[in-house]
Amino acid sequence: MINDYTVIQKVLHWLMAGIIMLDLFIAQKFGNYMEIADRLESRVDHSTMGLLVLTLFIIRLVLRMIYGAPKEDSTSPVWQVWMAKIAHGLLYVLMGLLVGSGLLTAVSATSSTEVFGIFDITLGRMNDEFFDFVRQFHEFFTEVMIVLVVIHVVAALYHQFIRRDNLLLKMLTFKRS
């Protein structure tokens, strides 16, 4: 079995981590009062970025199926190995739910949302109640994702600085092993 993620898997990990964390932070403004014009413009930018994340997510899933994950560290307690597997699985599920619910929110919007400034992804004939209904699921998934990412980062720092097994450093090393 392989003992490291491939370079492309690592690049995708950090690229997606950067975009998702930025979006988690920036898109919080949708929860506050916004001028309608500003909101619609931001919604287009956010949805365009979201579609990019959706594309990267699909590529990442396919690569994960092809290349798998590194063999677990045999010195780690069994419960930690299982916790890591479950946490990584949940992060994948949440990434899927986040982009899926985001897409559903965008297509349910009552004002046109022209992604990449080219095509409108809204389905039309929706009402604001339905948009708000779908949007609350997207909002809920963003909150669950924040909790998972915090746990994930704490675990990465624990490995790097307490267990000192260089897990984080390995994830940041972009050369073939």
- What residue ranges bind ligand HEM (CB under 6 A)? 9, 13, 17, 20-21, 23-24, 27-28, 30-31, 39, 43, 46-47, 50-51, 53-54, 64, 69-70, 84, 88, 91-92, 95, 98-99, 102-103, 105-106, 109, 135, 138-139, 142, 149, 152-153, 156, 167-168, 171
Q: Residue 52 CB, nearest distance to ligand HEM (Å)? A: 8
How far is Cα 3 from Cα 28, in angstroms, rounded to an integer? 38
The nearer residue to ligand HEM, 70 or 120, going by C-beta atoms, is 70
Task: Round to the nearest angstrom and report the end-to-end CA distance of the chain.
Answer: 13
Cβ neighbour number for residue 173 with a 10 Å cutoff: 14
Q: Contact at 8 Å (CB) between 1 and 71?
A: yes
Q: Which two tokens mark 144?
A: 């669950």
Q: Residue 43: what residue type?
A: R
How far is Cα 112 from Cα 47, in angstroms, rounded to an integer? 12
The nearer residue to ligand HEM, 51 or 126, going by C-beta atoms, is 51
Q: Residue 124 CB, nearest distance to ligand HEM (Å)? A: 15
Numbers of helices and strands, H then E, in the chain: 5, 2
**Any idea what the Cα angle at residue 57 is, between residues 78 and 72, rounded to 5°?**
20
Q: Residue 78 CB, nearest distance to ligand HEM (Å)? A: 15
Q: Residue 23 CB, nearest distance to ligand HEM (Å)? A: 4
Q: Contact at 8 Å (CB) between 103 and 52?
A: no
Q: Residue 36 CB, nearest distance to ligand HEM (Å)? A: 9
